[in-house]
Chain A
Amino acid sequence: DAGVIQSPRHEVTEMGQEVTLRCKPISGHDYLFWYRQTMMRGLELLIYFNNNVPIDDSGMPEDRFSAKMPNASFSTLKIQPSEPRDSAVYFCASSVGQGGTYNSPLHFGNGTRLTVT
């Protein structure tokens, strides 16, 4: 099992540019989550999908952020245009079920560290 795979590991971009983060969940997992981690705000849930359908995007900070899941093995998080305050580590996680039940924990990728200058 390769685990949750995220790319790129690091992304440095200039303000105003479009940024696309990618995630491949664990095969067979039906839930996919995008989190953002910063020193100031900790770990924030941005959006999650069930069977490729967005269920709750209430954590997406603003319209500059969008996420898609075109199939069960791939998801993207896009920021357009990017701003310096978007600098953070973005994590993708997947699970069987919502990850909050006793026997189905969340499996996290190693994250993408985004720096917007």
Chain B
Amino acid sequence: GNSVTQMEGPVTLSEEAFLTINCTYTATGYPSLFWYVQYPGEGLQLLLKATKADDKGSNKGFEATYRKETTSFHLEKGSVQVSDSAVYFCALSDFYNQGGKLIFGQGTELSVKP
């Protein structure tokens, strides 16, 4: 079945450091890929998305490129801020095989120190 695997956290960085959070997926079809972010005490919210191979999603300085050849969708940011401290979830949906139901990874906690 379809699944998502993320790098384990927590990830601790200093402000202005470069961020990479790895995400790989397994899917039988052609999924859409997402990153959601959860700030402390809140629900998840969509950060960015990509619908087909080689698409790049971007938002708030974060980027992720849909790599079909490596089945990956790694999240990157060139210079993190303390306000980026949150839990990040990679997710996929495969509309034609699973009706579009979202499948989430286990989440990666990011802590940015001043």
Interface size band for B: 20 to 34
Interface size band for A: 20 to 34
A110: interface (CB < 8 Å):
yes
* Given contacts A105-B49, A110-B41, A43 and B93 within 8 Å (CB-CB): no
Establish whether residues B104 and A102, one from each chain, have CB atoms under 8 Å apart when the complex forms. Answer: no
Establish whether residues A91 and B95, one from each chain, have CB atoms under 8 Å apart when the complex forms. Answer: no
B99: interface (CB < 8 Å):
yes
Task: Determine how close the nearest CB of chain B comes to the CB of A3; give it in whole angstroms.
Answer: 9
Choice from A48, A56, A100 contacting B93 with Cβ under 8 Å: A100
Number of inter-chain CB pairs below 8 Å: 64
Contact partners of A91 in chain B: CB under 8 A: 43-44
A98: interface (CB < 8 Å):
yes
Establish whether residues A100 and B100, one from each chain, have CB atoms under 8 Å apart when the complex forms. Answer: yes
* Given contacts A43-B107, A105-B49, A100 and B101 within 8 Å (CB-CB): yes
Task: Determine how close the nearest CB of chain B comes to the CB of A51; give it in whole angstroms.
Answer: 14
* Given contacts A108-B43, A110-B43, A101 and B95 within 8 Å (CB-CB): yes
The 9 A-B pairs with the shortest beta carbon distances in the complex, nearest first, are A100-B93, A108-B43, A100-B100, A98-B100, A105-B46, A42-B106, A102-B51, A108-B44, A100-B102
Q: Which A residues form the contact surface with B (CB < 8 A)?
A: 4, 42-43, 45, 48, 56, 91, 93, 97-102, 105-111
Q: Which B residues form the contact surface with A (CB < 8 A)?
A: 32, 34, 36, 41-46, 49, 51, 89, 92-95, 98-102, 104-107
